[in-house]
Structure 1
């Protein structure tokens, strides 16, 4: 073996040691390299997702509204004078008859006013008596020629003024007497007290509603509906009313009145539903549910709620499977139904396949393996 030129100046024995060390290092390096683990091979796993084929069914639309049992006729009573309430004779639910005194306000000031006008009536009557006596005397003097006609006319005019003064004072006295009667709040019709908005000691003003009395007679349910349901409600053929406190009791309803004006706060319209032959167990103030059936059957698509994908975007969406990949598509949802389903108004067609489980683990364009049944 021919040695390299640089090794000619190195003793042969040392040169053998150098080559031996190099050989040992090579052997150890190969051994260590073989012991290192090899990187795993990249395997693209295709997840299996649970899917379903969209179908539709012809069903009749059905809308429900919450309401409250009310009376057909309700009287909202108020005092006709200002004052402080000193007596309250009724409670919520009290049965009253026409003429019953419900509340009373302090009448001290009104009594003083009545006394004042009573004194004015007495004064006016005294003035009338004096004027009548003077008129009789001066009539005799006129007949005897002792006074002129102009003097007599002055006393006749004073008598007429006294007569008018009595009428004026009497009218003021009657008005003050009416004010005294107005300090008593009376029921105008028989019924049941359904609301009281004032207590003893409270100062109220004239015209402020204090007591609501539901008159005996018909019972109704009041509901509020949005403006886009008014025309459909007018055309409905069947209205069913159920009651939260009476699960086994139902009654048929009929639209009696739809408010022509929307509520300024809720922007909904008040609707009164008359109850046809209501059972006696129905009481005022009960919570009622009014179910309104649609006039025609329409195709409806319902999907599981778990299929709806919605994160930061307020628009709901679903994963549509086509060609082994998933695509996110926006949808418009409607009412929630039984069995954790939601109605889809727009965005899906019959026959399309959607993912119904694990929707938050997928990404746009991801390949999937499908499984599942039709909806």
Structure 2
């Protein structure tokens, strides 16, 4: 009887212990929303916005630069004066040409009068044929000299006009290669002009990457100071040879659109991406290795519980993993504390979890 009472007391005590067992704790977790990737990033590079068409212009004649009328960055209209040469030599040549023309014009008038007089004498029968021939020859020679003097005068006027360097189209001055007082030769590069209407992105790409670019590569071009100013671009041309010092090749990209914020010289950041088969990319911290299998913990948002899910990896690096399946876009998976979870365990999603 005593034993029976003792057994009954022990059972009652055990029942009370079971009733008073604390519930499973709710574990706070960090999580991330699964998203599908359709683009693969190939790298990010710095560059600048430049004009597609640039021209290096100079004076048509040699001389000493007397003035420089615009600065770098100035926007100039067609016909604007950029710089001038000292016009002293050209003015002297013009005056000499004008003097030669006046002298030969006088000679031509005399030659005309002489030829006319010899013709009249010959017609009356008192003049010799030889004298008439000489007068007519002198007239033709003087006429040729007169034409040459007129051409020399026209050339001298042009030379005087060439002391002024003007634009033949609307442009932006991007560089000066000569200063006032400097002596330049004919055709020497003096100033660089860019046509602002058509702009493009210019970057330097590693030589090894250029050879691996897929045909459908897409460039995302964004202003470094304001990434919200952005557009896409495609390759227009790539230098055929790499620069020996940097082993890079300059690439020029045609912009899909040209935002107003893309001014000439704007520093840009260019991200390369290529279309790929849709895949799932997650932080490497979501993985848990159990009995040779790889799994992740998926959160049930309604029940606020977690459940393990076996997955297959496509690729993996130090920070991310690419999965072939096992989870869908829009679901949330645990990113921290996966080794201390149990199936069906209640969890609390941290509101500051990355998305």
Q: Give the alignment's TM-score, normalised by structure 2.
A: 0.62
Distance in 1 between residues matched to 2:141 and 2:244, nearest whole Å: 56
What is residue 244 of structure 1 aligned with on the other side?
224
Alignment RMSD, CA only? 2.9
What is residue 308 of structure 2 aligned with on the other side?
none
The offset of 1:220, in angstroms, is: 0.7
What is residue 220 of structure 1 aligned with on the other side?
200
Q: Give the alignment's TM-score, normalised by structure 1.
A: 0.59
Distance in 2 between residues matched to 1:207 and 1:278, nearest whole Å: 34
Residues 124 and 194 of structure 1: CA distance in aligned 2, closer, same or farther (over 3 Å): same
C-alpha contact (below 8 Å) 2:172/2:194 kept by paired residues: yes
Distance in 1 between residues matched to 2:245 and 2:105, nearest whole Å: 58
The offset of 1:165, in angstroms, is: 0.3
Residues 154 and 233 of structure 1: CA distance in aligned 2, closer, same or farther (over 3 Å): farther
SS in 1 for 2:159: helix
C-alpha contact (below 8 Å) 2:64/2:183 kept by paired residues: yes
What do the CA deviations read for 1:281-335 (whole angstroms, capped 9, x no partner)?
11111222322224668xxxxxxxxxxxxxxxxxxxxxxxxxxxxxxxxxxxxxx
Residues 260 and 136 of structure 1: CA distance in aligned 2, closer, same or farther (over 3 Å): farther
Please state if 1:160 is matched with 2:130.
Answer: no
Residues 164 and 63 of structure 1: CA distance in aligned 2, closer, same or farther (over 3 Å): same
C-alpha contact (below 8 Å) 1:61/1:296 kept by paired residues: no
What is residue 252 of structure 2 aligned with on the other side?
272
Match of 1:136 among 116, 141, 144: 116
What do the CA deviations read for 1:188-225 (whole angstroms, capped 9, x no partner)?
11122111222222222221222222223121112233
SS in 2 for 1:67: strand
Distance in 2 between residues matched to 1:208 and 1:338, nearest whole Å: 55
C-alpha contact (below 8 Å) 2:214/2:274 kept by paired residues: no
What is residue 120 of structure 1 aligned with on the other side?
100
Distance in 1 between residues matched to 2:214 and 2:135, nearest whole Å: 75
Distance in 2 between residues matched to 1:168 and 1:263, nearest whole Å: 53
C-alpha contact (below 8 Å) 1:233/1:292 kept by paired residues: no
Where do 5+ consecutive residues of structure 2 fail to align?
A: 1-38, 278-316, 321-355
C-alpha contact (below 8 Å) 2:196/2:264 kept by paired residues: no
What do the CA deviations read for 1:18-43 (whole angstroms, capped 9, x no partner)?
xxxxxxxxxxxxxxxxxxxxxxxxxx
Residues 338 and 131 of structure 1: CA distance in aligned 2, closer, same or farther (over 3 Å): farther
The offset of 1:98, in angstroms, is: 0.6
Match of 2:130 among 137, 150, 153: 150
Where do 5+ consecutive residues of structure 1 fail to align?
A: 1-58, 298-336, 342-375
What do the CA deviations read for 1:60-108 (whole angstroms, capped 9, x no partner)?
4603333221112223221111112222221122121111111111110
Distance in 2 between residues matched to 1:195 and 1:153, nearest whole Å: 63
The offset of 1:109, in angstroms, is: 0.9
What is residue 25 of structure 1 aligned with on the other side?
none
C-alpha contact (below 8 Å) 1:105/1:184 kept by paired residues: yes
Match of 2:266 among 286, 291, 308: 286
What is residue 346 of structure 2 aligned with on the other side?
none
SS in 1 for 2:217: coil
C-alpha contact (below 8 Å) 2:237/2:251 kept by paired residues: yes
SS in 1 for 2:190: strand
What do the CA deviations read for 1:211-259 (whole angstroms, capped 9, x no partner)?
2222231211122335544454471331111222323322111222334
Please state if 1:108 is matched with 2:94.
Answer: no
Residues 133 and 260 of structure 1: CA distance in aligned 2, closer, same or farther (over 3 Å): farther
C-alpha contact (below 8 Å) 1:235/1:295 kept by paired residues: no
What is residue 158 of structure 2 aligned with on the other side?
178
What is residue 350 of structure 1 aligned with on the other side?
none
SS in 2 for 1:112: helix
Match of 1:79 among 48, 54, 59: 59
SS in 2 for 1:189: coil
Distance in 2 between residues matched to 1:232 and 1:63, nearest whole Å: 12
Please state if 1:191 is matched with 2:164.
Answer: no
Distance in 1 between residues matched to 2:252 and 2:163, nearest whole Å: 34
Residues 254 and 206 of structure 1: CA distance in aligned 2, closer, same or farther (over 3 Å): same
The offset of 1:338, in angstroms, is: 8.6
SS in 2 for 1:248: coil
Count of equivalent residues: 246
Distance in 2 between residues matched to 1:141 and 1:264, nearest whole Å: 85
Residues 182 and 133 of structure 1: CA distance in aligned 2, closer, same or farther (over 3 Å): same
